[in-house]
């Protein structure tokens, strides 16, 4: 039997509509219009699409959005200057530095320079530390979107075996940490797999929920999935056949119980959660909780 497809696109629209209502209420009560400043260095076509989509989504939710486009040859110092200006600008509530940055830029220095209160991607060590300790200020957008997808589809997580493939700072690592916390939508038994994992299929076949964030087209095949498992595909790979995920959707959907598509799965939720964090940032900077 074919798996149920988890529709991230419709869910993201629902969440974005909720956020738009919350923004309207916040500003009606005198709050400043939440503002996200996005910084894009260079001309990576994928990054340009992401940044423009984020900009459009902000505007649709009633938020302000500023786009800073910098040339490929920008130095670390120049980018740090811009970040300092955005940190000091009281009308900017969230700062997003689109990754990847060109090679000559010291990415860690730049991300560490973002004011933790404006760090809507939750990359700053202070915000990461808070997540690890189970008292998050912001949750990183992609794992946050996956959490919402699981919660709102009433997929049980507590006590389940969850395997995350990938240990990036953006997806795999925070996802694993969030799922093991003692909190709503978590309490899972989490296994993290990566490029050095031995006999990956033997590990992934134990998973009730499998989160895949590797960046390799159609890497996860049917034989790696436990029958009835929930499969969350984070991958976005541009191939000759268009956008594909890290999961071989056609074969895996015959084994899995529920599965996210690419496109239309995790991607739209990531943007929705960025809006969530930008509103949260505006509230925090207004002195609210
Ligand atoms: P990354 O390249 O930083 O990390 C990849 C991870 O995969 C590494 O930790 C590595 O150990 C692991 N890996 C690589 N080969 C492996 C193998 N053969 N077996 C097991 N593990 C292996 O990746 P990332 O930034 O986490 O992105 C992963 C994918 O998710 C990419 O396709 C990216 O475009 C996509 N992505 C999507 C969204 C979204 O909103 N949907 C957000 C972020 C990233």
Q: Which DSSP helix (H) or strand (E) runs through 94?
A: strand 94-97
- Say yes or no: CB of residue 214 within 6 Å of ligand 1: yes
Return phi, psi of residue 226, to 5°.
Answer: -70, 135
> Sign of the C-alpha dihedral, residues 18, 20, 24, 27?
positive
Residues 179 and 110 in one domain: no
Q: Is 233 left (phi over 0), alpha (psi -120 to 50) or beta?
A: beta
Residues 100 and 165 in one domain: no
Q: Which atom of ligand 1 is nearest to the CA of 216?
A: 32
Return phi, psi of residue 78, to 5°.
Answer: -65, -40
Annotated catalytic residue, options 22, 54, 173, 258: 54
pLDDT digits (tens, 9 = 90+) for 159-201: 999 999 999 999 999 999 999 999 999 999 999 999 999 999 9
In a domain, 25, yes or no: no
| Half-sphere CA count of 27, side-chain side, radius 13 A | 14
Give the model's pLDDT for residue 46.
87
**Which residue range(s) make up the domain with 109?**
32-121
For β-strands 35-41 and 64-70, DSSP reports them as parallel
pLDDT digits (tens, 9 = 90+) for 67-81: 999 999 999 999 999
Residues 112 and 148 in one domain: no
Q: What is the 8-class DSSP label of residue 3?
A: P
Whole-model pTM over 0.95 = yes
54 is catalytic: yes
Give the number of domains in the chain.
2
């Amino acid at each position: 039997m074919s798996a149920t497809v988890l529709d991230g696109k419709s869910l993201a629209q629902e969440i974005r509509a909720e956020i738009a209502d919350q923004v309207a209420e916040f500003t009606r009560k005198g709050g400043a219009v939440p503002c996200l400043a996005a910084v894009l260095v260079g001309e990576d076509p994928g990054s340009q699409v992401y940044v423009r989509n984020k900009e459009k989504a902000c505007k649709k939710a009633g938020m302000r959005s500023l786009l800073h486009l910098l040339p490929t040859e920008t130095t670390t110092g120049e980018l740090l200057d811009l970040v300092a200006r955005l940190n000091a600008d009281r009308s900017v509530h969230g700062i997003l530095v689109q990754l990847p940055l060109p090679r000559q830029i010291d990415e860690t220095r730049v991300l560490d320079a973002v004011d933790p209160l404006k760090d809507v991607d939750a990359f700053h060590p202070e915000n990461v530390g808070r997540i690890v300790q189970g008292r998050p200020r912001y949750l990183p957008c992609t794992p946050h979107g996956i959490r919402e997808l699981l919660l709102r589809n009433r997929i049980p997580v507590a006590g389940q075996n969850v395997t995350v493939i990938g240990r990036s700072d953006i997806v795999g690592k925070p996802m694993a940490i969030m799922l093991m916390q003692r909190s709503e939508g978590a309490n899972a038994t989490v296994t993290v797999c990566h490029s050095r994992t031995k006999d990956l299929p033997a590990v992934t076949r134990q998973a009730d929920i499998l989160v895949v964030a590797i960046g390799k087209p159609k890497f996860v095949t049917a034989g790696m999935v436990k029958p009835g498992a929930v499969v969350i595909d984070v991958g976005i790979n541009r191939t000759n056949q268009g956008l594909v995920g890290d999961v071989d959707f056609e074969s895996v959907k015959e084994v899995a119980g529920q599965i996210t598509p690419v496109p239309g799965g995790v991607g739209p939720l990531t943007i929705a959660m960025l809006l969530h964090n930008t509103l949260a940032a505006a509230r925090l900077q207004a002195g609210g909780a």
